[in-house]
């Protein structure tokens, strides 16, 4: 490796993996990035990192963790489910005293505000190479956080490329669906980096992408994220059907809801804008049509 990648004076990641016998587990959705130049590029996608606490999920042997610290993160709070990785992460913590806190546990069950209650930096951000199996669930939890604006200032998250394309998809496209609606209603997501399978060990069967999320301070139209989830679940659950039919799983008289929002009952879900879905959710909560 070049001098820049070695500037933290820690062993190469391949040596770390061999030393701690960290064979990636498919059951945990693990695919490690061993190129520190690349992990530093991912870290820079969330810049600036100075005076920031960075939340990282699934650090594994610590490739991205090292990249974040090398790029100036004031503090990294990492949540790792695989106890095998803790020793490798402890070595990074020793190299960066007071700048890395590692918590063993399931990120889906973490109370983030409690975990970060002693944070005294200017901003908290999330940067992670998310385990494939829980990536969408974690993202949805963060997008539905209450109160809003959320506890984080921005996110840079890696997904399978197909999932990333669903997040940024536009109305009228095949990729457009529930994930695009909630992501684009509450944030401004954009793909900032694409990675080929060869960037990972072991190489996955698909490419990956890093998506940057900038939270909207006041998402409009205003609605309940839980109701928005119900509306999109109904609409996209039968996306080939017209709204007057697909929304019957939400309300027995969807025509009343559609009439109030001025949306044609003959449209299909993929034709609606993010704002129109939010309008439907707001109207539903206001009592437009009896809920089932």
Known binding residues for S-adenosyl-L-methionine = 31, 33, 58, 80, 106, 129
d(CA 100, CA 74): 9
Residues 124, 229, 112: CA angle, nearest 5 degrees? 25
Q: What is the DSSP letter of 24?
A: P
124 three-state secondary structure? strand
The phi and psi torsions of 262 (rounded to 5 degrees) equal 70, 25
| Sheet-wide strand order for 187-195 | 100-104, 75-80, 52-57, 123-129, 155-160, 208-215, 187-195
d(CA 259, CA 288): 9
User: What is 156-175 written as a DSSP string?
Assistant: EEEEEHHHHHHHSPPTTSTT
Distances (CA, A) of 167 to 50, 112, 140: 28, 23, 11
d(CA 284, CA 11): 57
User: Within a 10 A sphere around the Cβ of 117, how many other Cβ atoms?
Assistant: 8
Greatest alpha-carbon pair distance for the chain in Å reads 66
């Amino acid at each position: 490796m070049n001098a820049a990648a070695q500037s933290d004076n820690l062993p190469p990641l391949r040596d770390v993996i061999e030393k701690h016998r960290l064979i990636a587990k498919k059951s945990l959705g693990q695919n490690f990035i061993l190129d520190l130049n690349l992990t530093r590029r991912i870290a820079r996608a969330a810049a600036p990192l100075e005076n920031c606490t960075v939340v990282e999920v699934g650090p594994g042997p610590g490739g991205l963790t090292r990249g974040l610290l090398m790029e100036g993160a004031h503090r990294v709070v990492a949540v790792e489910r695989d106890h095998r990785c803790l020793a490798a992460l402890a070595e990074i913590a020793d190299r960066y005293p007071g700048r890395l806190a590692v918590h063993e546990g399931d990120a889906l069950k973490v109370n983030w505000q409690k975990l970060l209650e002693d944070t005294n930096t200017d901003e908290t951000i999330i940067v992670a190479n998310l385990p494939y199996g829980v990536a969408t669930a974690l993202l949805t939890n963060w997008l539905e956080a209450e109160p809003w604006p959320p506890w984080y200032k921005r996110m840079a998250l890696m997904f399978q490329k197909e999932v990333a394309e669903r997040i940024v998809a536009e109305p009228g496209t095949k990729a457009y669906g529930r994930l695009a609606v909630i992501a684009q209603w509450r944030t401004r997501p954009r793909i900032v980096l694409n990675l080929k399978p060869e960037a990972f060990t072991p190489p996955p069967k698909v490419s990956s992408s890093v998506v940057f999320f900038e939270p909207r301070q006041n998402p409009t139209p205003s609605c309940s994220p839980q109701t928005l989830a119900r509306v999109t679940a109904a609409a996209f659950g039968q996306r080939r059907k017209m709204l007057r039919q697909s929304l019957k799983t939400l309300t027995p008289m969807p025509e009343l809801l559609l009439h109030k929002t001025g949306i044609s009952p003959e449209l299909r879900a993929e034709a609606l804008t993010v704002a129109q879905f939010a309008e439907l959710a707001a109207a539903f909560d206001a009592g437009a049509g009896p809920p089932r």
